[in-house]
Amino acid sequence: MSQRRAVIAGTGSALPRTRVSNAELAQRVDTSDEWITERTGIKFRHIAEADETTATLGADAARKALEAAGIEANDIDLIVLATATPDNTFPASATKIQKMLGIRGCAAFDVAAVCSGFLYALSVAESMIRAGSASKALVIGSETFSRILDWEDRGTCVLFGDGAGAVVLAAEESERGVLATRLHADGEHGEMLYVDGGPSTTGTVGKLRMKGREVFRHAVVNLAEVMTETLEAAGVGADRVDWVVPHQANARIIDATVRKLGLPAEKVVVTVDQHANTSAASVPLALDVAVRDGRIQRGDLIVLEAMGGGFTWGAAVVRF
């Protein structure tokens, strides 16, 4: 039945100019292409240069999403940016993006849920659209994790990359759009994936720390559960799903998660080989890749999912 829903009207993405292969990384870090590929499926990552920031990448992705949607920047009445690597502690980088796009007056704020940030941002924006307090929203995930990596820690620095992805959500009376979202968090596991600094503790930015093995174990369980829960909330069976667009952290996590749901690998969008883990940018970046190469078509049923530091995790079921 048609009802007011948040429909994805356009997608966009942006990557830093510099692309670094595993072999190039192995020249400055004690690692190898073989180790990284076998453990994670990652082959390349993009690393931001000094003039490329979370806000500039986010604004580039947003411009492309607006163009794809055929919507003028000035028609946007809400900007939600998911990021754990803002340009400044404040103001919110969403307001910098707003300025770069030449928009004034609309609501603009950041959401911090690390790798699941885009799911959190999407859920907030679509709720506001359904409630009638917004009608055209930019939901952006943008990160420059290269700036918070400890380049001496080979267990983490090889896993991440920089980038941005964005969607335009438009209110429509439609059977398409975001059908259901589910979000979760469990602060008990905060020490498994965190940054060891911050404005109110050390007064510094800090570096990323992770217990990789524990994160891996929790990710598979939490992601399979939240996908099942969200499909149930949307009232659709897993067999009806056309595409899964998962968080791109690790090819093995993706494989194990979709196998638990009994979904075939051909229905899964995988870009982790090209981009590594771009945190909050990973889901909208992978979505944009699959929309632009023609795999995801209007009317397809897609599932988005992610998990990250906190832990936080979530999923969304969308009729594209």
Kindly list the catalytic residues.
115, 247, 277
Place of tokens 């990359």: 161
**Binder of ligand COA out of 19, 43, 147, 154 (CB under 6 A):** 154
How near is the Cβ of 38 to ligand COA at its closest, in Å?
A: 9
Of 39 and 292, which has the nearer Cβ to ligand COA?
Answer: 39
Place of tokens 């949307």: 234
Q: Is 127 in the site for ligand COA (CB under 6 A)?
A: no
Cite the DSSP H helix spans in the chain.
22-25, 33-40, 54-69, 93-100, 117-131, 154-157, 212-234, 251-260, 272-275, 282-292
Of 170 and 192, which has the nearer Cβ to ligand COA?
Answer: 192
String of contacts with ligand COA for each residue 29-48, x by CB under 6 A: --x---x---xx--------
Please report, as residue ranges, which positions from 66 to 105 form the binding site for ligand COA (by CB under 6 A): none
In 145-242, DSSP assigns E strands to 162-174, 177-185, 193-195, 208-210
Residue 198 tokens read as 């911050």
Place of tokens 């909208």: 284
Q: Which stretch binds ligand COA (CB under 6 A): 50-58, 124-132, 226-234, 249-257?
A: 249-257
Please report, as residue ranges, which positions from 184 to 223 form the binding site for ligand COA (by CB under 6 A): 210, 212-213, 215-216, 219
Q: Is 146 in the site for ligand COA (CB under 6 A)?
A: no
Q: Kind of pairing, strands 78-82 and 136-144?
A: parallel
How near is the Cβ of 316 to ligand COA at its closest, in Å?
A: 17
User: Which residues on neighbouring strands pair with residue 313, listed in sequence order?
Assistant: 184, 307
